Structure 1
Amino acid sequence: MRLLESRADLSAWQSETLSGGHSIGFVPTMGCLHDGHLSLVRTAAEENGRALASIFVNPAQFAEGEDYDRYPRTLEADMALLEQSGCDALFYPRESDIYPEGFQSIIAVEPLSSELCGAARPGHFQGVATVVAILLNLTMPTRCYLGLKDYQQFTILRRMVQDLAMPYTLVGMPTVREADGLAMSSRNRYLQGAEREQAAALYRGLSAARSAWSNGERDPQRLEATARAALTEAGIERIDYVAARHPLTLAPWQSADPIAPVVLMAAHVGAARLIDNLRLDDAAA
């Protein structure tokens, strides 16, 4: 696996790859990789001539007081996992490669970026959209693979690519879960002792809402209340939101909508802010 530590390194690798007639499958990450990330890399390798990952802990998507400084940085272990998963190259840029001196631009996808997680983390999705746009334009992939655990993020990035006529295909991949249903996340390592068991309540709540949907419940407030109940029963007190939304637009879901909702939630367990979601017509998730 090639380590690309600058724009020049990336450009040289791209030229070699494209001159060889290979497509590029790209997986952007912030590192501290788990099997959710690696499933994206494996799919990128299977579906493209070359698989490229990036690791960049993006300061623009962290607000003051969030966990930028303590976000886990595990480059050596990440490189080994990427190589085992079939990754051909890793783009590991300096901050100056992403945000050169004098950089002033921001991409804001509104109003999608200001609700749900955006309401709890003002500016977060502007930072995400901006860095992903930069990474897409630098890497120029055939396909970009993103996990649907970050459902709102994927919806925002899909909207950005459509609105700005960017020539990239975004591929949303299913959430990878632990045995008890907890969505894999780099922030799960913040969970201590009993908090790990408590965190599994997020998936229990989503599963309860799916069961209610399967049994004929169509009232969005009741579906939300069913999912929220599992969190409160587990003793989770700080809940940012539990929301039933249209799966394509993230508008509040209405009983008359002809498509099943996605229920999204965010809650704090110990030092970890956890997010999860479930399409209620998805029996396999």
Structure 2
Amino acid sequence: MEIAKNNFELNDLLQNINGNLGFVPTMGSLHEGHISLIESSKKLFDNTVVSIFVNPTQFGPGEDFEKYPRNENNDIAVLKRHKVDLLYLPSASDVYPNDYAPISFTSPLTNKLEGALRPGHFDGVIQVVYRLLSLVNPDGIFLGKKDAQQLKILSLMIDQLTLPVKVHACEIIRENNGLALSSRNAYLSKNDKVSASTIYKGLLSAKAEFRSGSLDTEVVTAAFIDSIDPSIIKNIDYVSIVDQATFTPTNGSINSDALMLVAVRFGSTRLIDNIELTI
């Protein structure tokens, strides 16, 4: 595996790559969710590039930028084991040089749900992904479905700016108890992890209620709440059912292609998850 630690090394190494290119952007602290993206890229593309960059612009005041899990040596070992072709380890000055001009892309979706609770978060995500795409110039980018709102926003950006890259959305990877894998799971206590595992139980109950014929938003939402650990109900930031194509909230009656999104707090840690509500 080649490693580029700045833009000059990246350009040199990219010039020597033959064939098409799949790209997996990460913030490191790699887990099986990231590995699934890498393996998906390897199946479809001749070469796979992974970036590790903890992006400061997507963290708000008081968030966990400074303590975000970082383990570069372990991440490098994981990537070598999975035969990644190229690792890009940029500094902030590589991603955001002094002459960097932010792109102009806005969407109402950036201010809803996660965007409402984390002002400016998606603006930072948009900027870093656009910048990484312009540096790596991949043929495909691999993103996880766990961050469903982020996936939708980045897909809109790529489409509206007509960027020459295809988005590949990959399934959520879970622990054996159903908890969606996340680097932030490292913050959870053992008791938190047990309680957090009931989030998926609630999502499955909501999906079962929907598939049984219930189309009422309140009824399906109640199925979720009734199935999670009662102690975490007070910590719910949101439970929202949206149309998958438009991310418009369902208004009373759920259509046949919807998505339930949830966010729950465990101390200062917020976990997000979702499930498709399809017939």
Asked if the contact 2:216–2:254 (Cα under 8 Å) also holds between the matched residues in 1, the reply is no
CA distance in 2, matches of 1:225, 1:155: 26
The aligned amino acid for 2:122 is: F
Task: Render the CA deviation track for 1:121-164: whole Å, top value 9, x for unaligned.
Answer: 00000000110000011101011000000000000000001111
Asked if the contact 2:60–2:120 (Cα under 8 Å) also holds between the matched residues in 1, the reply is yes
In the alignment, structure 1 residue 95 sits paired with structure 2 residue 92: yes
CA distance in 1, matches of 2:232, 2:238: 15
Q: Which residue of 2 aligns with 1:163?
A: 160
State the shift of 1:72 in Å. Answer: 0.7
Q: Which residue of 2 aligns with 1:2?
A: 2
In the alignment, structure 1 residue 46 sits paired with structure 2 residue 43: yes
Q: Which residue of 2 aligns with 1:70?
A: 67
> Could you state the TM-score of these two structures normalised by the residue count of structure 2?
0.96
In the alignment, structure 1 residue 259 sits paired with structure 2 residue 256: yes
Asked if the contact 1:113–1:156 (Cα under 8 Å) also holds between the matched residues in 2, the reply is yes
| Secondary structure, counterpart of 1:237 in structure 2 | helix
State the shift of 1:255 in Å. Answer: 6.1
State the shift of 1:178 in Å. Answer: 0.6
State the shift of 1:84 in Å. Answer: 1.4
Q: Which residue of 1 aligns with 2:178?
A: 181
Task: Render the CA deviation track for 1:34-87: whole Å, top value 9, x for unaligned.
Answer: 000011111111211111000000000000100000001111101111111221
Q: Which residue of 2 aligns with 1:143?
A: 140
| Secondary structure, counterpart of 2:213 in structure 1 | coil
CA distance in 2, matches of 1:113, 1:209: 26
CA distance in 1, matches of 2:185, 2:96: 29
Change (3 A) 1:190 1:168: same
Asked if the contact 1:61–1:128 (Cα under 8 Å) also holds between the matched residues in 2, the reply is yes
Matched residues, percent identical?
37
The aligned amino acid for 1:70 is: K
Q: Which residue of 2 aligns with 1:116?
A: 113
| Secondary structure, counterpart of 1:54 in structure 2 | strand
Asked if the contact 1:27–1:52 (Cα under 8 Å) also holds between the matched residues in 2, the reply is yes
Asked if the contact 2:49–2:87 (Cα under 8 Å) also holds between the matched residues in 1, the reply is yes
Aligned residues: 279
Q: Which residue of 2 aligns with 1:229?
A: 226
Unaligned runs of 5+ in 2: none
> Could you state the TM-score of these two structures normalised by the residue count of structure 1?
0.94
In the alignment, structure 1 residue 132 sits paired with structure 2 residue 141: no
Query: Residue 211 of structure 2: which of 188, 209, 214 is its match?
Result: 214
CA distance in 1, matches of 2:188, 2:253: 39
State the shift of 1:227 in Å. Answer: 1.6
CA distance in 1, matches of 2:8, 2:226: 52
The aligned amino acid for 2:165 is: Y
